[in-house]
Structure 1
Amino acid sequence: MDGFSKTPRFVLKADGLPIGPNTVPANQDAETQVVFGFSSKEHYDAFQKACSDPVTPYPLVKGYLQNQVEEGSGRRQLVMLDADSPTQEECLAATFQSILASIQSSSDTVPVSHQLHLDRESLLYDVRSVEPRASAPASG
């Protein structure tokens, strides 16, 4: 892992709401919110082929992220990046705040801050922090 991923440009919605995987509760004090995010149609298409539920892509707009960051005080808010399926064994994630910063600066990349690991028995993802890298690659 090089510490960066392509900036997601849209999230998935079902019944009008962003959706994501279920996670193992981190602790009693902090809730975790994770949504599926995709940087390209190709990644979404691969996910859609493996997904039995009807989902639609929705543009990941600055306003949505800004509102979520402001409302989510105390919550860990993550976007699962370019998952191939709703039950991918491991996947990278970035915070809402870092994705918002990437979109605002027109960056093509976002720093990866977490990894999600699927527990096959419970079908819940364990969310783990990863070490941040010192600098981002050049945008382009």
Structure 2
Amino acid sequence: MTISADAISTPRYILHFERKPLAPVVSKLLSIQDYHVIYGFSDKIHFDKFIANYPMPLTPYPLVKIHLKNVNESVGNGLNLIAINATGPEAVEVLAATNLEVLEAHIHHHDQVPASYRLKFDSETQAYHVEESLV
């Protein structure tokens, strides 16, 4: 895997709320029918910062290869993203990598993944807009 200049730390953790991975609210992606976006964190410092800015109790879990593989299979050709190291549910901008990029980083023990996407928060709609990262 080639790492771009716009690389971010590989996420190793996810946060669960009521036994489900926590996901940002994302505006409907018009060109893509199936998509799946979750928050991922590279270390405890980052998920602690997010938890401090979230009103409900969250539980950290390791982000494991089996979860990444299952998500890839369930969404198929859709867009699977992991929003990495968000500081809270309304962070202005969050860099994201595809689920497949994160899976490959876990398999090959890479410390970084390319930031292929950006999520930009729209305070009017209270949702993120997904944009391809311009590297």
The residue type equivalent to 1:53 in the other structure is: M
In the TM superposition, 1:7-46 aligns within 5 A as 7-27=10-30, 29-46=32-49
Indicate the residue corresponding to 2:79 in structure 1.
Answer: 76
TM-score scaled by structure 2?
A: 0.92
Matched with 1:114 is 117
Matches of 2:47 and 2:69 in 1, distance apart?
23
Per-residue Cα deviation, 1:14-42 (whole angstroms, up to 9, x for no partner): 11111111111111642321111000100
Q: Letter of the 2:125 partner, please give it.
A: S
| Matched residue type, 1:62 | K
Query: What is aligned with 2:107?
Result: 104
Decide whether the 8 Å contact of 1:79 with 1:93 is kept in 2.
yes
Unaligned runs of 5+ residues in structure 2 are none
Unaligned runs of 5+ residues in structure 1 are 133-140
CA distance in 2, matches of 1:122, 1:34: 17
Question: Match for residue 95 of structure 2?
Answer: 92
Amino-acid identity (%): 33
Shift of 1:71: 1.5
With over 3 angstroms needed to count, the CA separation of the structure-2 counterparts of 1:113 and 1:29, relative to structure 1, is closer
Counterpart contact for 2:35–2:78, Cα < 8 Å:
yes
Shift of 1:128: 0.3
CA distance in 1, matches of 2:18, 2:68: 19
Q: TM-score, normalised by structure 1?
A: 0.89
- Matched length: 132
Q: CA, structure 1 residues 126+58, in 2 after alignment: closer, same or farther (shift >3 Å)? A: same
